[in-house]
Chains A and B, each alone.
Chain A
Amino acid sequence: MNNIWGSMEQYDPVVWNWIIAVYLFMAGLSAGSMLVAIGLKWYKQSRGLPTEGLPVIKAAAVIGPVAICLGMALLVLDLTKPFEFYHILLNYNLTSVMAWGVIALLVYIPLVFVFAALVFEKQVLHFAPWLAGVLKVCRQLEGSLNKLIFALALGVGVYTGFLLSAMISYPILNTAVLPALFLASAMSVGSAGNILVATLFFSKKESDCIEQVHRIEYPVAFNEALCLVLLFVGLNFSGPAAQAATAAITTGAWASVFWIGVVGLGLVVPVLASTLAPKAWRHTKGFLITVSCSTILGVLALRHFVVYAGQSYIS
């Protein structure tokens, strides 16, 4: 349309697009898979069980570094000045959530590589024997390193939510529930990703650790659903602009993404599958792969829904 005052194109409220949604997904996946793997390790250790060579931990050692690096690559390519991204490493404005995220990631990323190197120590030493000394030191510090990685992974998961909630004029984004929602969904995509990679590449027999990862899926799914309910019920009580934003789940294309993707694939399918499916299926490869893919798609849909629907309603 031609207005007397000119084009409205630059006023599109959707500024961050799918690239950011995929980045947020990747960061959540990496952080979630680390949280689940380290949590499982502690659980086993506290019961005096062996933790060496667990397929789920091997899977996390692959997902953790790969997902965060892919995510960072996307993020840098999405900058309008990708070749000058180093400025973000030199200047820190500490009122910015993004600056805190950069600090957390600067420590987190090298540490997940250390985690992976310790899990695949044999393979690493085969290709790079000169790392033996470094790995030995890391192995001695492993306990503290794991605690640090766990804390940083929590930070990364939560930060992706705060990144969006700091934008004060979007009612769906500007809520305290968002970081909690992102953390819960990071845990579910992390466990689903671990199960997927473990079944595809690392597990030789039906493995009991998959069972334990399954066990955390219920509370996580419950928390995720609770956060979603809180988010939209909260909006309903927060004034006219926020109320108008609840239309995000009733009308338009993003409502379908929400109900089919986020609720259907992300919550209903996995919960029904693990409650109703006959026992005989539950450890078949096909079943595990299908259910974890469903969860992963659900979380991917959640990130897209939040990024797009979140920015479409402005107060």
Chain B
Amino acid sequence: MTKRYVLVHDENKCIGCQACNVACRSENNVPESVTRLQVRIEGPYGNFPHLHFKYNRVSCEQCENAPCVKVCPTGAAYVNDDGIVSINEGKCVGCLYCVAACPYKVRFINPETRVPDKCDFCKESRLARGEEPACVSVCPTDALTFGDANDLNSEVRKLLDTKQNYQQKVNLGTEPRVYRIPSRRGGIKA
């Protein structure tokens, strides 16, 4: 695997405007009833008057050790050369094992193809043309940064080397490739 595409979501810069969500929908022709990407506004956290919200991006984490790939009986869920977790529609029987096994709950059945669907970093459209994923390019606050972490000079690499960051559910050993820069604001449960 030569590429190691990662996505960094800066939770300080994010304002939860859903521009990424909408851009994803139109770029990838996601049917109305389902979605590949949400930014959930969680909270408020902290105590009055120091209240703040958390902006939680929910989309495929492109796990390096992907449970969805491991459980798929036919190999329809697989990892591409670029490290992107992909789906071979022809091999899929729709057993939903991958949907159930994904710890981030980001797989869904596409009502049109009857096959699991999820974020693929726009690999067939924008990435193939050398562009960034739709969500990244449309973000008004530049909260999203995308790139190849194997490239020492890439922006993502610099960001991750210099800023505090975390990944979700690391204890499960999935090694997600979505990194998050946590909100600087603190707080303790009331």
Contact = CB atoms under 8 A, between A and B. Distances in A.
Contacts of A93: 72-75
A130 interface: no
Contacts of B41: 3-5
Nearest to A93: B75
A16 B96 contact: yes
Contacts of A6: 18, 21, 35, 38
B105 A95 contact: no
B185 interface: no
B73 A102 contact: yes
Contacts of B105: 11, 13, 314
A168 B101 contact: yes
Contacts of B99: 15
B133 interface: no
A106 to B, nearest CB: 12
A88 B40 contact: no
Contact of B35 (A7, A13, A80, A167): A7
Contacts of B67: 167-169
A38 to B, nearest CB: 28
B169 A4 contact: no
Contact of A96 (B97, B102, B114): B97
B93 A4 contact: no
B100 interface: yes
B39 A5 contact: yes
B46 interface: no
B7 interface: no
Interface in A8-41: 9-11, 13, 15-16
Nearest to B38: A5
A166 interface: yes
A183 to B, nearest CB: 21
Q: Which of B38, B99, B114, B169 has the most CB of A within 10 A?
A: B38
Interface in B82-109: 90-97, 99-103, 105, 108-109
B93 A16 contact: no
Interface string B16-42: 101001000000000001110011110
A275 interface: no
A7 B91 CA distance: 29
Given A5-B40, A93-B72, A15 B18 contact: no
B40 to A, nearest CB: 5
Interface string B159-179: 000000000010011100000
Given A81-B94, A87-B76, 8 more contacts: A4-B18, A4-B41, A10-B33, A84-B94, A98-B73, A98-B97, A168-B174, A314-B105
22 contacts: A5-B16, A5-B39, A6-B21, A11-B105, A15-B96, A79-B94, A80-B115, A81-B93, A87-B74, A87-B91, A87-B93, A88-B95, A90-B74, A93-B72, A96-B73, A98-B71, A166-B101, A167-B100, A168-B67, A169-B101, A311-B100, A315-B103
